[in-house]
Chains A and B, each alone.
Chain A
Amino acid sequence: MQCAMLHVRLGTRRVLALALFASAVIRSTSLPACAARSDGEPSRHVMPTPFAGGDLEEPGVMEAALKARAPNKELVFLSVGDTRDHRRMNKDPALRTISMDFLLNLLANFKTLGIEHHLILTTKKLCKKVLQAEHCMYNCAWTSLWHERTDDLKRWSLKEGDMFLMWAQQWRYIARAVEMGHRVLRTDTDVYFAEDPYPILSGPLFGQYAMVVQQDFGGPLGGRPTCKPSNGGGPGGSCGLHKGTPLLDIGPVYVFTRTLTLSPIPTPTLSLTPTRHVPAQHRAGLRAL
């Protein structure tokens, strides 16, 4: 938390000046014509512009990335680590080649839906040599965040580009994007979108929540939440306290943070039940790759 406060204290004017500088530098970079290609089909979403890439820790780069990739303050944030990560190779060796397939498939999935406002946090090598050079995708960035903590990284056997590191780095940048007034959909690459989620996430039912996250349930966590017909259609839709142990699965997360006035919702009489013990395997949870 303190680091975030320090960042804020950098001063708005200084950040703005650096952003303008970085933006000018990036605009002057010559990008191939393919970087601006479009399938021409109209979309409900504002189309982003190509981003030449950069270290998000460099002054102004984060601001420039958001300006290019999230023109309507709406951002899909993806992170893809270095597939040489020995843990990933041992756990699921096919990921050495399939991991990038999944990213490309998700991007194609989004493109079909007219959603192209994404930013991919990855390594400089994957950004420049794969996404940009091989696929003409100017939608990625890298970071040197916390790389100076060499003793800490060594103690935990972490290398730059490891997913364990990148999973934390991504939240640093998502928090920054939210601070800057953006709405962020973060998703793993093993998620498929059968329809555009935004009309639902901003619709009457879910538009009132600051954050929407997948739920993990099953086994000792308890079953799916339920509403009895007798109270499920009640005012406000509250069905009383949930008896299971809800856990966040952060594979898909949508953050729409805003100040809410918590309005009263009439509810039936609630029965109080103790929180259940959660076995270790469920507390940790798997992470997508």
Chain B
Amino acid sequence: MRSSGSGGAFAVINGTWARFLQKLGGPFAGDVQALIDQPLMRNLADELSVADPGLGKRDRRWVAMSCGAAPIYGGADTCALQERGACAAVAAERAKTAFVVQAVQPPKAAGGAPRTTERLALAPDWLFGRGCLTHVRHPAALMRAARGAAAKEATTCTLPPGSGRLAMPAPGPAAGLLVATHFVYSMALKRKRTFRAFAWDAASHNRTTYADGSCWDRAQKGVVFGHTFFAQTEAKSVLCAMPSGQESECACCAGMPSLKEMQDGSSLELETTSGTKIRSNKHMAMLEGCSDYQSFWD
């Protein structure tokens, strides 16, 4: 049975614009960012939260839930890799993740209208996750330094699926694991370049591919992709080479072990979107697991 406006989730979204109107009609708060919808919705979710004995919580705090508690897909659906063994590995990795849940109830209404408590979930990061990006110089040299003799075997040079209602997967070892990745904390040009490197740019023309391992030499620049989900995976980031020119090419990528210790050496040269060398020695620590909000806005 659908809610007709009596549910807690509806109250959260409906209250967001109502709070906006309240603020808009009030005095200027010194910064137009006071009108941003996100904190308004966050506050509502907090204010409308209630105890939920069914979740074993006696107050308004959030409860952690295991992704391993129930199947992720129903019926005949399977993961995007569409291969039994690969999907089993994806399921096993996702099952290790936790997410948080809250119960929300609408405020009391005049006339005692019915109020329905509903549960909202903050998604596990493999479902809705945060991605962080940083440009890197000389990806071939970095690949050799980081992976050594395993460089060739670790490389994937992937073309988008041609049909079957399948999208280009996440790069390298993240393929099949990530569903929706949000790049809110990276500037637009870096995001655009990254989408080309990942073959996420939906180009209509054919892409060029390379023999195993040789794609690293095609470009002097690459991108390092950090993701909140990589905090639990063996690969702590994914390195991809940029295409050699304006033409779209295969996504030339490999999972990376932690590169934090390499930042003091010569193999790892990070740079901003405009090409300035990044000198912060904490940058990789923040990129791995995408644990910082502001460091990637360049």
Contacts and interface: CB of A to CB of B under 8 A. Distances in A.
Interface of A: 1-4, 8, 41-44, 87, 92, 94-95, 98-99, 101-102, 105, 108-109, 112-114, 146, 149, 152-153, 155-158, 164-165, 167-172, 174-175, 178-179, 181, 187-188, 190-197, 199-200, 202-219, 223-227, 232-234, 236-242, 246-252, 255-260, 262-267, 270, 272-273, 275, 281-289
A83 B189 CA distance: 15
B118 A242 contact: no
A227 B191 contact: no
Contacts of B168: 112, 194
Contact of B17 (A175, A246, A283): A175
Given A193-B179, A241-B62, A205 B5 contact: no
Contact of B37 (A175, A247, A250): A250
> Which 5 pairs between the two chains have the least Cβ-Cβ distance?
A237-B69, A267-B56, A215-B122, A108-B202, A195-B80
Nearest to A247: B42
29 contacts: A2-B18, A94-B189, A95-B188, A102-B192, A105-B195, A112-B167, A149-B24, A175-B17, A179-B10, A190-B191, A191-B183, A193-B167, A194-B178, A195-B176, A199-B77, A214-B128, A214-B130, A219-B291, A227-B65, A238-B64, A239-B98, A249-B128, A250-B37, A251-B182, A262-B53, A266-B56, A272-B59, A284-B38, A286-B184
Given A191-B180, A193-B179, A200-B179, A157 B32 contact: yes
Interface string B101-145: 111000100000000111111110101111000000000000000
Nearest to A224: B231
B191 A179 contact: no
A272 to B, nearest CB: 8
B32 A194 contact: no
Interface centre among A181, A200, A233 (most CB of B within 10 A): A200
A171 B14 contact: yes
Interface of B: 1-10, 12-18, 20-21, 24-25, 27-28, 32-33, 35-39, 41-42, 45, 52-59, 61-74, 77, 79-80, 97-103, 107, 116-123, 125, 127-130, 160, 163-170, 175-176, 178-189, 191-192, 195, 198, 200-202, 228, 231-232, 289-294, 297
A273 B63 CA distance: 12
Contacts of A192: 180-181, 183, 195, 198, 200
Nearest to B71: A204
B185 A239 contact: no
Interface centre among B98, B186, B201 (most CB of A within 10 A): B98
A175 B10 contact: yes
Given A197-B179, A262-B54, A249 B38 contact: yes
Given A168-B16, A194-B80, A92 B38 contact: no
B24 A156 contact: yes
Nearest to B190: A94
Contact of B292 (A43, A112, A156, A219): A219
B117 A262 contact: yes
A156 B36 CA distance: 12
Contact of B61 (A99, A156, A241, A265): A241
A242 B119 contact: no
B54 A265 contact: yes
B131 to A, nearest CB: 8
Contacts of B125: 215, 224
